[in-house]
């Protein structure tokens, strides 16, 4: 059975983890995720929604074979996982994660690749790695630090505590906490809304945030106009500016723009 499914509907790509109850991340799931991301990259998708089937989002890596695996083979495996997860993170379209139940280890590291995280009210997050004597292998601790600060990231990694969704939201890791039974509907509605927006501008904002994450404000300033100016040649910006100027000259409210992602 597949561990992950992919579908595309009117500009919204949906990735669903389909290996319940724990949706463990293993080589098969990573392969299927890579294939789905390649397909999304070639498609007309303008946003991506990541969610899961079963009672929990994901318990993280499938550790069953790790004790009997050579360290060099483990490194190659984890490097592959990292590459695939980063492929999701670097998609030039908004990525939204809808998290319910337990979201631990590699599952949390997968969710952290999203630009926006919706969480069910009863969802819980955590880094269980220290209970195994290892670290957050796919970049979890510093991606939490990027959102919540070093102090929170260190505390959660050192203790492996289960952190409620609302605490994660207060810390800035999770964007929105919604009722459990409304999670998929609200996350999907948000994803569809951004999918209808200026896709090229969304990609530019993601690129600016990446430049900032790597080199701070100065690096983002340096990259700004190389990233921003090509937008003025796009159909979306031409339509948006033309509509805004006409409304201003006529003394009318600015009408919504039917962005096409071009």
Average pLDDT over residues 192-210: 96
pLDDT tens digits, one per residue of 116-140: 999 999 999 999 999 999 999 999 9
- Which helix (H) or strand (E) segment holds residue 82: the answer is helix 71-89
Please determine, for residue 1, whether its predicted confidence score (pLDDT) is greater than 70. no
* pLDDT class of 115 with cuts at 50, 70, 90: very high
pLDDT confidence of residue 52:
98
Average pLDDT over residues 52-77: 95
Average pLDDT over residues 76-94: 97
Laid out side by side, the sheet with 163-164 consists of: 102-104, 124-126, 163-164
Find out whether 53 and 88 touch, Cβ atoms under 8 Å. Answer: no
Mean pLDDT for the chain overall: 96
Average pLDDT over residues 40-56: 97
Q: Count of residues for the chain?
A: 262
* pLDDT class of 249 with cuts at 50, 70, 90: very high
What b-and-e string marks burial along 216-245, b requiring 16 or more CB atoms within 10 Å of the CB? eeeebeebeeebeeebeebebbebbeeeee
Q: Residues near 76 by Cβ (< 8 Å), separated by ≥ 6? A: none
């Amino acid at each position: 059975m597949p561990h992950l499914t992919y579908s595309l509907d009117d500009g919204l790509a949906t990735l669903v983890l389909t290996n319940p109850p724990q949706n463990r991340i293993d080589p098969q799931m990573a392969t299927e995720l890579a294939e789905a991301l390649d397909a999304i990259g070639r498609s007309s998708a303008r946003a991506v929604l990541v969610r899961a089937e079963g009672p929990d989002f994901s318990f993280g890596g499938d550790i069953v074979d790790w004790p009997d695996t050579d360290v060099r083979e483990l490194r190659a495996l984890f490097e592959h996982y990292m590459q695939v997860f980063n492929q999701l993170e670097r998609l030039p379209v908004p990525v939204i994660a809808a998290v319910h139940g337990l979201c631990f280890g590699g599952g949390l590291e997968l969710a952290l690749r999203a630009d926006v995280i919706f969480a069910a009210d009863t969802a819980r997050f955590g880094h269980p790695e220290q209970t195994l004597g290892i670290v957050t292998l796919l970049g979890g601790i510093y991606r939490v630090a990027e959102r919540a600060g070093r102090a929170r990231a260190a505390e959660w990694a050192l203790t492996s505590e289960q952190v409620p969704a609302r605490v994660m939201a207060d810390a800035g890791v999770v964007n929105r906490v919604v009722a459990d039974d409304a999670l998929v509907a609200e996350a999907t509605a948000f994803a569809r809304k951004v999918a209808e927006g200026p896709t090229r501008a969304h990609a530019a904002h993601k690129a600016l945030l990446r430049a900032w994450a790597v080199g701070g404000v100065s690096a983002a300033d340096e990259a700004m106009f190389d990233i921003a100016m090509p937008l003025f040649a796009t159909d979306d910006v031409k339509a948006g500016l033309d509509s805004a100027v006409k409304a201003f000259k006529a003394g009318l409210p600015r009408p919504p723009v039917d962005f096409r992602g071009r």
